[in-house]
Amino acid sequence: MRELITMWRDTRMIMLVAVIAAIYAAVLIPFNALTIIPGITSIRPANVFPVIFGIMFGPAAAWGSAIGNLIGDVFSGQLGPGSVGGFVGNFFFGLVGYKLWGNLGPLSSGEEPRMDSARQVVEYLVIALTAAAACAAIIAWWLDVLELFPFSVLGTIITVNNFLAAAVLGPPLLYLVYPRVKEMGLLYPDVMREDDLPDVAPSRRQLAATGIVAVSIAWVAIGIAISVGVEGTQFLATTGETFGQGGSVTQQVLGAVGLLVLLGLTAISGDSLSEMVRR
Amino acid sequence: MTGTADERDDGVTARLRDVFFSYDRDADFDEGSGRPDPDARGGLVLDGLDLDVPDHSFTVVMGASGGGKSTLLRTFNGIIPDFITGAFDGEIDVVGHDATSTRVSEMARDVGMVIQDYEAQLFGTSITAEVAFGPENLAVPVADIDDRIDESLAVAGLTDLDRDRAPDALSGGQKQRLVFAGVLAMQPDLLLLDEPTSDLDPVGSRETLSVIGRLADAARADERVGEWAGPDSIVLVTHKIEEALLADHAVLLEGGQVAHSGAAEDVFTDVDSLRDSRVAVPPLVDAFDRLGFDQPDLPLSVDAAAQTAAESDLPWDPPATRGEALPGAPAGTAPDVGDVLFELEDVAYEYDADGETVRAVDGVDLTIREGEVVAIVGHNGSGKTTLAKQLNGLLDPDEGVARWDGSDLTDLQMSEVGRRVGFVFQNPDHQIFAATVEEEVAFGPENFGLEGEELDRRVAEAIRTVDLDGLEEADPFNLSKGQRQRVALASILATDPDAIVFDEPTTGLDATQQETFMDLVAELNREQGVTVAMVTHSMSTVATYAPRTVVMADGRKVADAPTRERFADEDQLHQWDLRPPQPVALANRLAADRGIDDALPALSVDELVAGLGGGETRTATTDAAGDDR
Amino acid sequence: MSGGSSLYVNGDSILHRLAPRAKIALALGVFAVALAFDNPAWVVVPFAVSLVTLLALGGLKNLMRVWFVVVAIFVVGMVVWPAFVPAGGPVVLSTPLLDVTRDEVLLALGRSTRFASFIVTGLLFVTVTSNEEIVAGLRSLGVPFAFCFAVGTALRLFPTLLSATGTVRQAQEARGHDVAARSPIKRIRNYVPLLIPVFMTAIRNVQTQSMALEARGFDTRRERTFYGRRPLSGRDWLAILAGVALIVGAAVARYVFGLGVV
């Protein structure tokens, strides 16, 4: 967790934050692969960036994605209270990559993310799903808290959109850019001073990473279940009566707990890429 | 604190001794002898270099591409070895600091730096914020920053601009001058300039050069620039001779060492040393050297050359006169011209910028025939790039008709046109994405449906044509800028197009890279009859390669004529902010001095030498031109 | 195109001249009003105020850019919300699948209006606040300098990269690349040749930019001064007071007096 603060001492990391934010925003707006609900939701190729940037640029990707989303809001005229959720959600969207790569126990390849084996692709897909879910849960929760949009609708849509873009584009992009970024000396373990990187024992790293996967996915799943009715069968007609404000309160409490647990797990988490790169 | 030049007593702003550097961290310098280990993996970019930069001086550093010019400059403010780590050894003393052990941000108090890429040096959201940024970083009291902003904007010639404007709305030349203002506001003792005009158009270059000229005068004369004394010394790295001539002291680098140094006029007239260091010989020096003049008489300016020619009673026999059948371009391009290929009829194109409609192209008629080489020139914002994009339907006209080979482009898909009309963009990095050169080159033809052996054959041929054989498996991102531009060209050639449209293909390339690239284009035209339309800022490229020139101004076509005729009228060129290259200017001057009214100018050094009574020509391209005549 | 991407509209209105902090306070006040109440009759007030101000200050062009989003949110909100809010009052729409009550319609309308007021108020904010002021505003709220710098630089780089994105699209199009494809997966995958050049062009510059930055004396570990900070004027204080009053007033009206509910 410390590295999220100490990275602000390094000029290159700060510059990476700015560049990541600018790329994310500049691609988010014009590139739109598939529109699902016009004006509301679409699959945006840019959503692959937080995940792969997270793996390569570490903490700079977390801050960069958060700021990039904010800038996207400023330039697309959608700045408002909802942007707070967008900021935090995208922060986690970018954070998950480096916290999870190499820390998923049997699911991890234990290699640098060159995407040259099926195992790495599987590891990547788990990370992409987790990142997509964490981001979606936070944003959907926040908009539910503000009573702008119900959790289930947004939680599902954002998870699916984020994941589709990240899953389809991530492996080919990493395959093409990871070696180049490494060659340029811009991987976060190469840019940051060794003292500023997290130094966490492998068992704790894995525990935290596994926790992040579980919490993110569970949060979206439970959240959706709550707002559509626990049994899932009473959708539409009676949800309102069954849950009403009560469902909303449960939703909001669940979200607060989910976010706190994610923060806690982040606090005890570490990274593996710095060891792989140094090896 | 360190002192200004007048407070230091050694008269030297920077002193480098025995400086070795390699970008490879593991490179080894043999201990003891001070010599580098010849077996080290990383090449030595600086190899035991010694250099003094005197106070109140303006030094220019030149040398071949990759010869360590920029690397050298980066040792002056601690970027090497503090920021760029590699293998380093040596002593560097700059303005009283040990630059080998001082942080870059600390050196910034006394050493300012401006590099080629202005976009990479602008950080502020407004002009004021940009200029204030440096002083803020140095913790200059806020009360003093106002004056510094006024003063440095004045020196940079930017006082007319609204200071709340965002930098991205400025032209390239304005942006680079804003970078100067930002650096000058920090009041450095030593100013480092690394190819400050290489990314600029001619107007931007001239604006920037006048700023450098002002600073140079102040440094030399130890005069004040406003309230501040100005930099004590300037060190400039460049490959442009007109820029280098602003300096009073010149250094030629070769093999990581100083190969030659001395007064600028002496160094730039020393033809052999320049060739040894692979620095382009100034065109007029080259011409008069070939005419047999001795070094002290070799001219650097058009005025000096005209005077020398007059004093030595040299003849002037213009290569052509008005009305006479015109010889083609010196490069021998466009030997045969066929049927009409591109046809624009009253084309107009508008776009929206900041809520205002800009008519980028305004009622242009243009016909280009098979086998032609046509240059499209004009200053930034004249509409030349927008015009070029009408030629292959990348942009559809708002009014008028654009035709390719007889068909209206709006009726054609890019999948039909793109295959026959290639478009090479200014920056190759805007298209390169694949893992290898081969895959990159294959991308276009694959999109157009080629496959199997035919695809492989075309790709291999294209790579061979641009001289990149052996690099098929290389990662295109690791190639030099000149090579990347050739990858972009190969990726177009692999579709076997009838015509290629170029958008400023040589911007950002050095003189050698430019020549290599353009010779390639000329060869495609001469040997395969590929029709070429190129947007360019480089007047020497126009003179050498394009027999026909189209001039754009404010979206309109203001001229469309044989290049030689166009270049004969310099007053008219000046009105369009265009300046002919030195050989052309000298030829025009000689004709005027001798009252030859209907003379058309020489377009190359060869033609100039021939007209001045010298005989032989030497380059391959001119041989081809010879056949043409 | 350069400069064309910002929503800021140059002007000299009272709102334009407020300090960034005062603008933020006012915007928060309006947000609070839209957030506190459920009843559409109440929520429409901040919406209308922001909308009229926006139009008065020349923001029509900006509104045109987002109207589609506003309408879409409205429509989708009206469809979705009735299923998630408590029923009450008479049934106003009866379908074989479900009945929609008056309260459900009112709540859906209120929430959609709230979303719309957020967007229009946010739009008004960026219409009268330049990028530079946004960064200055963050700074004046005590956000650390390095973070503000990153936001400012990202704002400065954004238009450059946006235009690079357009150029990359054209460059690949000229090589016969077409993103359209029937299968959604293939269609997403077709963005690879577009994303990589944009990314590599930007990232290639990071080393140079960082170098240039340090050469300009940038060092987050060192003291620096801040130019252009201006003290709050009486007008700014009034605006901040108004913002706070709106927040407090909305909270009291809603939670003490129970106003503006359905």
Q: What is the pLDDT of residues B533-586, one digit of tens each?
A: 999 999 999 999 999 999 999 999 999 999 999 999 999 999 998 899 999 999
Query: Which has the minimum average pLDDT: A46-60, A64-78, B34-48, C170-184?
Result: B34-48
Minimal C-alpha gap between A167 and chain B (Å): 19
- Cβ–Cβ gap B478/A175 under 8 Å: no
pLDDT band at A77 (very low <50, low <70, confident <90, very high): confident
The fold of A3-278 is Arp2/3 complex 21 kDa subunit ARPC3 (1.10.1760)
Q: What is the mean pLDDT of chain B?
A: 88
Q: What's the pLDDT band for B28 if we cut at 50, 70, 90?
A: low
Establish if A67 touches chain C: CB-CB under 8 angstroms.
Answer: yes
Nearest to C156 among B122, B394, B432 (CB): B122
**What's the sign of the alpha-carbon dihedral A42, A43, A48, A49?**
negative
* CB-facing half-sphere around the CA of B521: CA atoms within 13 A: 34
Q: Cβ of B164 and C211 within 8 Å?
A: no
H/E stretch holding B236: strand B233-237
Residue B133 has pLDDT above 80, yes or no: yes
Cβ atoms of residues A69 and A90 within 8 Å: yes
Written as six digits, the tokens of B388 are 């070029």
pLDDT band at B628 (very low <50, low <70, confident <90, very high): very low
The pLDDT value given to residue B623: 37
Tell me which chain B residue has its CA closest to the CA of residue C195: B433
Q: Locate the domains of chain C by residue range.
A: 14-129+231-256, 144-215
Mean per-residue pLDDT, B82-106: 92
Q: Which of the other chains make 3 or more beta carbon contacts under 8 angstroms with chain A? A: B, C
Which pLDDT value is given to residue B499?
96
Phi and psi, residue B556, nearest 5°: -105, 150
Q: If residue B343 lies in a helix (H) or strand (E), which one and from where to where?
A: strand B340-353
Note the pLDDT tens digit of each residue in A10-40. Answer: 999 999 999 999 999 999 888 877 777 666 6
CB contact under 8 A, B475 and A175: no
- C-alpha C174/C-alpha C170 separation (Å) is 6
User: In chain B, what are the domains?
Assistant: 109-247 (3.40.50.300)
For residues B178 and B152, what is the distance between their CA atoms, to the nearest angstrom? 9
Residue B8 is predicted with a pLDDT of 61
Q: What is the CA radius of gyration of chain B?
A: 26
Q: How confident is the model at residue B620 (pLDDT cuts 50, 70, 90)?
A: very low
The vertex-B342 CA angle with B341 and B345, nearest 5°, equals 135
What pLDDT, on a 0 to 100 scale, did the predictor assign at position B224? 57
Tell me: pLDDT of C96 over 50: yes
From the list B79, B145, B354, the residue facing C227 with the nearest CB is: B145
Inter-chain CB proximity A17 and C150 less than 8 Å: yes
Cα distance between residue B505 and residue B427, in whole Å: 8
pLDDT at A87: 96
Residues 6+ apart with CB under 8 A from B592: none
Tens digits of residue pLDDT in B315-361: 999 998 887 766 678 888 888 888 999 999 999 999 877 667 889 99
Q: How confident is the model at residue A213 (pLDDT cuts 50, 70, 90)?
A: very high
Write down the pLDDT at residue C235.
Answer: 94
Average pLDDT over residues A114-130: 96
pLDDT, residue A172, reads 96
CA nearest to B230, candidates B13, B61, B9? B13
Instruction: Assign C99 a pLDDT band (cuts: 50, 70, 90).
Output: confident
Distance CA B72, CA B36 (A): 17
| Tens digit of each residue's pLDDT (9 = 90 or more) over B42-81 | 578 899 999 999 988 999 999 887 778 999 999 999 999 9
Q: What angle do CA C212, C218, C223 make, to 5 degrees?
A: 170
Instruction: Residue B475: count other Cβ atoms within 10 Å of its Cβ.
Output: 17
* pLDDT number for residue B622: 37
* Chain B residue numbers touching C216 (CB-CB < 8 A): 108, 121, 123, 133-134, 137, 182-183, 186
C219 close to B102: Cβ distance less than 8 angstroms: no
Q: Say which residue the tokens 């591409």 belong to.
A: B65
Interface of B with C in 204-243 (CB under 8 A): none
Q: What is the DSSP letter of B326?
A: P
**Local confidence band at A247 (pLDDT 50, 70, 90 cut-offs):** low
Tell whether A176 lies on the interface with B, counting CB pairs under 8 A. Answer: yes
Position A239 scores a pLDDT of 43
In the predicted model, what is the mean pLDDT of residues B441-454? 93
Look at residue B403 and tell me whether its pLDDT is greater than 70: yes
Whether B483 has a pLDDT exceeding 50, the answer reads yes
Q: Annotate C172-236 with DSSP letters as a single string.
A: HHHTT-----SSHHHHHHTTHHHHHHHHHHHHHHHHHHHHHHHHTT--TTS----TT-----HHH
Task: Tell me the mean pLDDT in the region B198-206.
Answer: 87
Q: Which tens digit of pLDDT belongs to each residue from C105-154? A: 899 999 999 999 999 999 999 999 988 889 999 999 999 999 999 999 99
Instruction: Name the more confident of A250 and B212.
Output: B212
> What pLDDT is stored for residue B143 in this prediction?
92
Residue C239, pLDDT score: 96
Instruction: In whole angstroms, give the CA distance from residue B184 to residue B155.
Output: 9
Pick from A105, A142, A5: which is nearest to A60 by CA? A5
- Quickly list DSSP for B551-584: EEETTEEEEEEEHHHHHH-HHHHHHTT----HHH
Interface test with B, best of A176, A178, A194 (most B CBs within 10 A): A176
Chain A partners within 8 Å of C88 (Cβ): none
Across the interface, do C188 and A21 touch by the CB < 8 Å criterion? no
Give the list of residues 6+ apart from residue B46 with CB closer than 8 angstroms, or none: B19, B20, B21, B68, B71, B72, B75, B90, B256, B257
- Summarised one tens digit per residue, pLDDT across range B495-526 is 999 999 999 988 877 778 888 899 999 999 99
CB contact under 8 A, A19 and C206: yes
Model ipTM value: 0.92
Radius of gyration over every alpha carbon of chain A, rounded to an integer in angstroms: 18
CA distance B403 to chain A (A): 29
CB contact under 8 A, B477 and A175: no
- The pLDDT of residue A231: 44
Nearest partner of B395 among B505, B487, B501, judged by Cα: B501
Instruction: Determine, for residues C203 and A19 on separate chains, whether the beta-carbon distance falls below 8 Å.
Output: yes
* Contact residues on chain B for A183, CB-CB shorter than 8 A: 477-478
Interface contact C135-B125, CB threshold 8 A: yes
Output the pLDDT for position C179: 87
CB contact under 8 A, C165 and A31: yes
Tell me which residue has tokens 């050694």: B10
Reported as a pLDDT band with limits 50, 70 and 90, residue A98 is very high
Among the ranges given (A55-69, A228-242, B611-625), the one the predictor scored with the smallest mean pLDDT: A228-242
Q: Is the pLDDT of residue B423 over 70?
A: yes
Q: Residue B476: closest CA among chain A residues belongs to which residue?
A: A180
What is the pLDDT averaged over residues A46-51? Answer: 96
Q: What residue has token string 């020497």?
A: B540
Mean pLDDT of A96-101: 96
Q: Do A183 and B478 touch (CB under 8 A)?
A: yes
Q: Tokens at residue B626, please?
A: 């010879």
Q: Does the pLDDT at position B485 exceed 70?
A: yes
Q: Where are the beta strands (DSSP E) in B85-212?
A: 87-94, 97-98, 111-115, 190-194
What pLDDT is stored for residue B525 in this prediction? 94
Q: Give how far A176 is from chain B: nearest CA, Å.
A: 6
Q: How many helices (H) and strands (E) does chain C have?
A: 10, 2
**Which residues contact residue C149 at a Cβ distance below 8 angstroms, ignoring those fewer than 6 apart?**
A14, A18, B123, C218
Average per-residue pLDDT for chain A: 89
Instruction: Summarize pLDDT for A124-152 with one digit per residue, the tens.
Output: 999 999 999 999 999 999 998 998 888 88
User: What are the chain B neighbours of A176 within 8 Å (beta carbons)?
Assistant: 433-435
CA separation for the pair C188, C199 (Å, rounded) = 17
Is it the case that residue B391 has pLDDT exceeding 80? yes
pLDDT attached to residue A240: 42
C56-77: per-residue pLDDT in tens? 998 898 898 888 888 888 888 8
- Min Cα–Cα distance to chain A from B435, Å: 6
- Which tokens is B477 given? 């991102």
CA distance B314 to chain C (A): 50
End-to-end Cα spacing for chain A: 23
Does position A91 have pLDDT exceeding 70, yes or no? yes
Task: Give the model's pLDDT for residue B435.
Answer: 94
Question: Which pLDDT score is estimated for B334?
Answer: 83
What is the CB-side half-sphere exposure of residue B376 using CA atoms within 13 A? 30
- B390 touching C (Cβ < 8 Å): no
| A52 at interface of C, judged by CB pairs closer than 8 A | no
Q: Which of A81-85, C149-153, C181-185 has the lowest mean pLDDT?
A: C181-185
Of A15, A186, A238, A245, which to mutate for an interface test with C (greatest number of C Cβ within 10 Å)?
Answer: A15
- Can you give the pLDDT at residue A225? 83
State residue B470's pLDDT score. 92
Structure tokens at C160: 């450059």
* Residues in contact with B591: Cβ distance below 8 Å, sequence separation at least 6, in sequence order: B316, B318, B597, B599, B601
- Give the pLDDT band of residue B7 (cuts 50, 70, 90): low
Local confidence band at B461 (pLDDT 50, 70, 90 cut-offs): very high
Neighbours of B194 (CB within 10 A): 20
